[in-house]
Amino acid sequence: MNSISRRLLLLGAAGAGSLGLAAGRLAAAQPSRPRPRALALIGDRYHNPDYIRVSLDRVFRDVGIPVDYTIQYEQLSRDLLKNYDLFLCLRDGMIWPNGYLGPDAYTHYERGLENDFPEPKPESWITEEQGAAVKDFVMAGGGFYSLHNNSHVSLSSKNYREVMGGAYIGHPTLRPFQVRVTNKEHAITQGIQDFMVNDEQHFVAYDKDPKYVILESENLDGLEYENHGRKSVAGWAYAYGKGRVVFTAVGHTNHAMWAPAHFELQKRAVRWLLKQI
């Protein structure tokens, strides 16, 4: 079997650009797969792909699903997705072609530099064709797991938002909040108890039927986010065409990703998306 090593995908060459899939190697993926396989598009300015890989490795190892990682958003296409059963995305919709000082965005780091540096300006990376590729992938039976800040991509693509189900509003800094199970009968959440987590509480706009919401977040200290209150939808799951879609909002750190209840939710989400439960 001509399988692709996960480590090779991440470490194949020097430099950040080496963290992605080469198009030719992608096309060489095995023609018939004895078990489901996942593709994870990960990492952005504010979310180091290494912590995401470390975190998700535990999830996929526990569920016994091989996963290939890539940071090369430009290669997202129908030809890429046809080699997989599950597409997971944990990254936002921004790229920074003219560079930036670092992932932290601390303004005092910009003082006293020995040379001028351009003001960082983000651009959107996704095209409507790429959004349509994800939409068609799910319509044809694939699973789509959108994690944490991936709701931001929906702001740049109507097709992506249509299949993903909602869009990013914003978030406060890391602080404790509760994640509450709103649908206790769903296969993903059955038996899962409400839990506390110290994370970015992402506020999202949800577009689909409320019956598909499975999680809600609330700041129990009474702290609001701008004019959006203390609560937000924090997870949903639904069938889309022949496939399935899941979104969960927690995920800025490994501490949050590995909170026991959330870790179990992720594993169940993967299995539900692959129609194993």
- Mean of all residue pLDDT scores within the chain: 89
- 129: closest CA among 71, 70, 78? 78
Q: Give the 3-state secondary structure percentages of the chain, helix then strand then coil, rounded to 5.
A: 30, 25, 45
Better pLDDT: 28 or 240: 240
On whether the CB atoms of residues 143 and 84 are closer than 8 A, the answer is no
How confident is the model over 183-222, as pLDDT tens digits?
999 999 999 999 999 999 999 999 999 999 999 999 999 9
Given phi > 0 = left and psi -120 to 50 = alpha, else beta, which region is 238? beta
How confident is the model over 72-103, as pLDDT tens digits?
999 999 999 999 999 999 999 999 998 888 76
On whether the CB atoms of residues 236 and 212 are closer than 8 A, the answer is yes
Asked if pLDDT for residue 107 goes beyond 50, the answer is yes
| CA–CA gap between residue 144 and residue 147 (Å, rounded) | 10
Asked if pLDDT for residue 140 goes beyond 60, the answer is yes
How confident is the model over 251-267, as pLDDT tens digits?
999 999 999 999 999 99
| CA–CA gap between residue 91 and residue 149 (Å, rounded) | 6
Q: Determine phi and psi for 146, rounding to 5 degrees.
A: -100, 120
pLDDT bracket for residue 119 (50, 70, 90) = confident
Q: What pLDDT was estimated at residue 106?
A: 65
Q: Which residue has the tokens 């489901």?
A: 36
Asked if pLDDT for residue 31 goes beyond 60, the answer is no
Asked if pLDDT for residue 8 goes beyond 50, the answer is no
Q: For residue 57, what is the enclosing H or E element? A: helix 49-63
pTM: 0.87
Hey, which residues does 195 pair with through a beta bridge?
179
Q: What pLDDT was estimated at residue 27?
A: 41
Better pLDDT: 3 or 77: 77
69 Cβ contact partners less than 8 Å away, ≥ 6 residues apart = 6, 9, 10, 19, 40, 42, 49, 53, 56
Q: What pLDDT was estimated at residue 96?
A: 94
Given phi > 0 = left and psi -120 to 50 = alpha, else beta, which region is 255? alpha
Three-state DSSP string of 134-187:
HHHHHHCCCEEEEEHHHHHHHHHCHHHHHHHCEEEEECCCCEEEEEEECCCCCC
| CA–CA gap between residue 179 and residue 196 (Å, rounded) | 6
217 Cβ contact partners less than 8 Å away, ≥ 6 residues apart = 177, 178, 179, 180, 201, 202, 231, 232, 233, 234, 249, 250
Counting every residue, how long is the chain? 277
Give the number of other CB atoms < 10 A from CB of residue 238. 15
Better pLDDT: 35 or 93: 93
Domain ranges of the chain: 11-93+127-273
For 257, the token pair is 């990703």
Q: What pLDDT was estimated at residue 209?
A: 97
Report the pLDDT averaged over residues 230-256. 97
CATH hierarchy code of domain 11-93+127-273: 3.40.50.880
